[in-house]
Amino acid sequence: MTSALMPNYGTPELEFDHGQGSYLYSSDGTRYLDFAMGIAVNSLGHCHPRLIAALTKQANKLWHTSNLYRISEAERLASTLVANTFADRVFFCNSGTEAVECGFKLIRRFNHAQDRHQRKRIIGMTNAFHGRTHAALAAAANPSHSAGFLVGDNGFDQAVFGDLDSLEALISAETAGVILEPIQGEGGIRVVDRDYLKAVKELCAQHDLLLMFDEVQCGVGRTGTLYAYQQLGVTPDILASAKGLGGGFPIGACLATEVVAATMTAGSHGSTFGGNPLAMAVANAVLAELTTPGFLPQVQQRSAYFRAGLQTLVDQHPELLKGISGLGLMIGLQCEIPAAELITRLQQEAMLVVKAGGNSIRILPALNVSEEELDEALTIIAKILIKWQLKI
Ligand SMILES: Cc1ncc(COP(=O)(O)O)c(C=O)c1O
């Protein structure tokens, strides 16, 4: 039967019926070890009891009122984010690309509010991904995503990720800000160099530019700190968050300093669904879990354990695997063999991971993954590598 869905996702066949913790189950009962987690979304695995309790409690009480009215769950979530980050203010929306979009608007609005009307251009990075709105496409300038969609350059330039000279060369009297992912996700799990990041911050300070981090994928505990910037030694003015914040419920959040956020005066920006009580209740439960003492150190421990196991596999199979990248439980496996084929074979062995750029795979387990589940993953990967070598 021809699908009534638009063809933009292709025609995936694999479908799941239910999930529990680190596992997904297809309707024929096959159990899959899920190390994709909806591309870093199900931060606490599938059907976490605390999230179910928060969602059902809220669902029985109130779903939606609109931002015409006060939403105390949103105020609570914003306060938790502010208490645990650089930010003073938060705007809630429904997705990563909306959070990024809000950040771009803040950069332009901030300059507009100071009568610096010529300052509208924003510098993004090569190999980046910020989502699918026009502005996000223009910032990343990846032709495979943007072809046919954009008119002009939409006010964005691209510096080479990691190359300070290329960034400096692009700064002009029209530049308003810089956006980058501290760890490029879609681009292949590339961690930004710390010295480069510090130099970017200095350059921004020198030219009075706003610095924005896109932590849609690498944020919310994924790297072992609540946000990745907290272990990279550089603080942004604006930060986009989403994915793991809702643990599977759609949400986005744009975090900013007071001076930047103050330019978003009443009526200047908004969202019908952003900050709705259901999303807020679930995200409050996610953050309550992540900020429980010991949770994030455990992410770091599990990461070290898993990466040591992966490194052994890389050492055993240098002709198949090039190396490991990433931070915490945002892990890239750089491949010598075609990554897409390795992913297919892993799926055949009932393990799910995600493709990333540069012939790599993304391994994104739940943040509360157990050591046994990590061992299970290592066993599956080892088995496939041996079969590959034996050509069976
Ligand atoms: C770094 C980054 N920014 C933005 C987005 C867009 O998020 P969404 O798909 O929720 O709009 C993604 C999604 O993968 C992402 O990885």
pLDDT tens track for 34-45: 999 999 999 999
pLDDT band of 193, cuts 50, 70, 90: very high
> Which whole number is the average pLDDT over 100-122?
97
Question: Is the pLDDT score of 2 beyond 80?
Answer: no
Nearest atom (ligand 1) to Cα of 184: 1
What CATH code would you report for 50-290? 3.40.640.10
The more confidently predicted of residues 170 and 392 is 170
Identity of the residue numbered 42? N
What CATH code would you report for 7-48+293-389? 3.90.1150.10
CA 336/CA 321 separation, integer angstroms: 5
Tokens of 107: 């950069």
Q: What is the largest CA-CA distance in the chain?
A: 67
Which of 37, 95, 97 has most ligand 1 atoms within 8 Å of CB, for mutation? 97
What is residue 347's predicted lDDT score, i.e. its pLDDT? 97
Nearest protein Cα to ligand 1, atom 5:
131
CA 230/CA 300 separation, integer angstroms: 14
Whether 7-48+293-389 and 50-290 share one fold: the answer is no
CA 333/CA 324 separation, integer angstroms: 5
Q: What tens digit of pLDDT does each residue of 362-375 get?
A: 999 999 999 999 99
CA 317/CA 196 separation, integer angstroms: 32
Nearest atom (ligand 1) to Cα of 98: 11
CA 221/CA 5 separation, integer angstroms: 34
Round to the nearest angstrom and report the end-to-end CA distance of the chain: 35
Identity of the residue numbered 63? W
Q: Is 2 exposed, middle or buried (0-12, 13-18, 19+ CB in 10 A)?
A: exposed
CA of 50 to the centre of ligand 1 (A): 25
Read off φ and ψ for residue 13, nearest 5 degrees: -100, -35
CA of 250 to the centre of ligand 1 (A): 12
**Domain chopping of the chain, boundaries:** 7-48+293-389, 50-290
Q: What tens digit of pLDDT does each residue of 124-175 get?
A: 999 999 999 999 999 999 999 999 999 999 999 999 999 999 999 999 999 9
Read off φ and ψ for residue 65, nearest 5 degrees: -130, -30
Question: Is the pLDDT score of 1 beyond 70?
Answer: no
What is residue 392's predicted lDDT score, i.e. its pLDDT? 84
pLDDT band of 388, cuts 50, 70, 90: very high
CA of 290 to the centre of ligand 1 (A): 21
Q: Cα separations (Å) of 100 from 130, 209, 213, 264?
A: 7, 17, 9, 15
Spatial neighbors of 121 by CB under 8 A, at least 6 apart, are: 155, 156, 157, 172, 174, 175, 176
**% of the chain residues with pLDDT over 90:** 98
CA of 203 to the centre of ligand 1 (A): 26
Nearest atom (ligand 1) to Cα of 39: 14
Provide residues with CB under 6 Å of ligand 1.
39, 95-97, 100, 129-131, 181, 185-186, 214, 216-217, 242
Nearest protein Cα to ligand 1, atom 13:
131
Q: What tens digit of pLDDT does each residue of 256-272 get?
A: 999 999 999 999 999 99
CA of 130 to the centre of ligand 1 (A): 5
Q: Which residues of 23-46 are buried (b: 16+ CB within 10 A; e: fewer)?
A: bbbeeeeeebbbbbbbebbbbbbb
Render 92-141 in DSSP notation, one character per residue. Answer: EESSHHHHHHHHHHHHHHHHHHTT-TT--EEEEETT----SSHHHHHHH-
CA of 217 to the centre of ligand 1 (A): 6
CA of 43 to the centre of ligand 1 (A): 15
> Which whole number is the average pLDDT over 266-279?
98
Nearest atom (ligand 1) to Cα of 217: 16
